[in-house]
Structure 1
Amino acid sequence: MTGSITKDHFEIRLAEEEEIQFLCDLAAGEGWNPGLRDIQCFYQADKSGFFIGLLNGEPIACISAVKYGEEYGFVGFYIVREPWRGKGFGLAIWDHALDRLKGRLIGLDGVVDQQDNYIKSGFQFSHRNIRFEGTAKAQENKAVGLVDVKSFSFDQIVAFDREHFFDERKRFLKAWLGEEGHLGFAAIDGAEVKGYGLIRPYFDGYKTGPLFAKNPVVANDIFNRLCAEIDDSTIILDVPENNTEGVLLAERYGLVQSFETARMYKGGSVNLPLDNIYGITSFELG
């Protein structure tokens, strides 16, 4: 097709379950390194939140606009295939996603050089999320009081997670924590959850997310245990730059910066405990 194609030939529709892998394939093509089973878990969060853009029946674009509860939403997987960029198709599918989340606080993790475009749509910069990457090497100390998240009270994990996210995400967590190959640990003090973290495989190693903890010691204990489980594998940790202790944690394990995003919001105030967020869950769903 040529650049003369008009948007009249462009259709945006809900992605069916058998089509959602298309979003992950495009993300992989952009070098985003999605987890091997990310998209199946993401889909459980909001089955009406994933869209494909088709030009004369050919899929050329995608986006997600996932709703959490009644007040929050997150935009991800905003991709247009290379031959069709700059022709208005991206703006069309972008507007479609924002319209679905109208009236909510909306978040996104965008590439830094697109910040100005997001600002034009009413988004405001919050902070950078920095991707740290390196080889998993556990330290000698072995923490006690860590339990497998798959064998611990799911409702307690959900409640702790809610303290570090904008809304309850029970459907997503049920899939995320239970997925094959996903490995997580929670730090427990008596009956109280002090933190939890999870890793999942991607094509070349493991990605961490989330890593939430009440203090740096707990965060280190959990991350150390995760590293011990995948010794010598590549590991990724995405840290909010504002969490100084999180940055120091990554550096202590020899991880180096490899990528960053701009976390931005539109439509409301933001009050997350970033000091307790040592690793975000994902760039795609927040």
Structure 2
Amino acid sequence: MEKSGYQIRVMSKEDLSLAVEWAAEEGWNPGLHDAASFFAADPNGFLMGYLNGEPISSISVVKYSNGFGFLGFYIVKPEYRGKGYGLAIWQAGLEYLAGCNIGLDGVVDQQANYRRSGFSLAYGNIRFEGLGGGVAPEQADIIPIDEAHFNEVLCYDSAFFPASRDVFLRHWLNQRESVALAIRRGGKLAGYGVIRPCREGYKIGPLFADDVALAEDLFLALRAKASAYDPVYLDVPESNHAGVALAGKYEMEPVFTTARMYTGEFPDISVERTFGVTTFELG
């Protein structure tokens, strides 16, 4: 797309690293090694806008299938806001996902704008901040996730996401400096979670489990991977009251909220077993 020196192009990996920097400047606290996982999900699903060669805007529109995509990284450099550049890249992103049910986790004060583009509110998410450390439970059924467990984890993940995300998940579970753990009950996978380093502290996400007791065991095991001085963040759907209570039990404080919205019907996913969202950027 080209208009008055403004061009919108598919990002390179280097461009995506710049968009991650912009996200950090916005206070979104991205993971240190997120970019590779994001790019693997859909290399064509990241757009950047250039004004006379200068990168000034970004959006991610990852197409997980022909029927579902997720929008994120919608950023315009502050000095270029209000001039139509954001709208242009937004429209280009929606065009790429034409025909898909599109999800996003947007800042709450932008809900009205998203509604005008056909998005409807499904539920809110709350980012909680606490501290790492503590002692992992003596739970023999908590195991590190390795390649031998991947297909089982992928199958379990299908209850929490409306499309297969095998390529993304394989990268996410193997991020540098991250820890991925699964929990079993009765010989079957009953939950899994990941903790990864971010610009500030660590984020736990996803945190999926069949009930709150299993989620708590996983949470404690993951939290123990960070030091007692490190901030730890957990993004919980506010409609998962057990998850919100779990965060409160460990003295985590709400610091940020988002609105999960979709252009189509709310997907049949297990929000009540989602104790931690994978990532606001890609769902």
Bin of the TM-score, shorter chain as denominator length: over 0.9
Counterpart position of 1:261: 258
Bigger mean CA deviation after superposition, 104-113 or 268-277: 268-277
Percent identical:
44
* 1:153 match: secondary structure: helix
Counterpart position of 1:3: none
| 1:281 maps to 2:278 | yes
5+ unaligned residues in a row in structure 2: which ranges? Answer: none
Given candidates 157, 161, 180, the residue that maps to 1:161 is 157
* 1:229 match: secondary structure: coil
Distance in 1 (alpha carbons) for counterparts of 2:174 and 2:243 = 26
Structure 1 residue 79: Cα displacement: 0.2
Cα 1:169–1:147, aligned 2, differ >3 Å: closer, same or farther? same
Counterpart position of 1:41: 37
**What letter matches 2:243 in structure 1?**
G
Structure 1 residue 140: Cα displacement: 7.3
Counterpart position of 1:54: 50
**What letter matches 1:147 in structure 2?**
I
Distance in 2 (alpha carbons) for counterparts of 1:161 and 1:262 = 22
Distance in 2 (alpha carbons) for counterparts of 1:186 and 1:212 = 9
Bigger mean CA deviation after superposition, 117-126 or 138-147: 138-147
Distance in 2 (alpha carbons) for counterparts of 1:194 and 1:92 = 44
**What letter matches 1:109 in structure 2?**
D
Given candidates 26, 33, 41, the residue that maps to 1:30 is 26
**What letter matches 2:100 in structure 1?**
R
Counterpart position of 1:16: 12
Distance in 2 (alpha carbons) for counterparts of 1:88 and 1:140 = 50
Structure 1 residue 16: Cα displacement: 1.2
| 1:271 maps to 2:251 | no
Q: Does the aligned pair in 1 maintain the 2:124–2:257 contact within 8 Å?
A: yes
Output one character per residue of 1:246-278: Cα deviation in whole Å (capped at 9) or x when no partner: 001111111000000011100234222111000
Counterpart position of 2:236: 239
* 1:174 match: secondary structure: helix
Cα 1:107–1:140, aligned 2, differ >3 Å: closer, same or farther? closer
Residues 130-279 of structure 1 correspond to what in structure 2 (within 5 A)?
130-138=126-134, 141-150=137-146, 152-232=148-228, 233-279=230-276
Output one character per residue of 1:221-252: Cα deviation in whole Å (capped at 9) or x when no partner: 10010112213121000000000000011111
Distance in 2 (alpha carbons) for counterparts of 1:140 and 1:194 = 18
| 1:81 maps to 2:77 | yes
Distance in 2 (alpha carbons) for counterparts of 1:133 and 1:171 = 29
Distance in 2 (alpha carbons) for counterparts of 1:162 and 1:36 = 26
Structure 1 residue 153: Cα displacement: 1.1
* 1:40 match: secondary structure: helix
Structure 1 residue 151: Cα displacement: 5.7
Structure 2 length as normaliser, TM-score?
Answer: 0.96
Given candidates 76, 89, 93, the residue that maps to 1:97 is 93
Cα 1:57–1:191, aligned 2, differ >3 Å: closer, same or farther? same
Distance in 2 (alpha carbons) for counterparts of 1:227 and 1:178 = 18
Runs of 4+ with >6 A deviation: none
Q: Does the aligned pair in 2 maintain the 1:105–1:268 contact within 8 Å?
A: yes
Q: Does the aligned pair in 1 maintain the 2:136–2:221 contact within 8 Å?
A: no
Distance in 2 (alpha carbons) for counterparts of 1:65 and 1:140 = 37
Distance in 2 (alpha carbons) for counterparts of 1:174 and 1:218 = 23
Q: Number of residue pairs matched?
A: 281
Distance in 2 (alpha carbons) for counterparts of 1:28 and 1:118 = 22
Distance in 1 (alpha carbons) for counterparts of 2:206 and 2:32 = 16
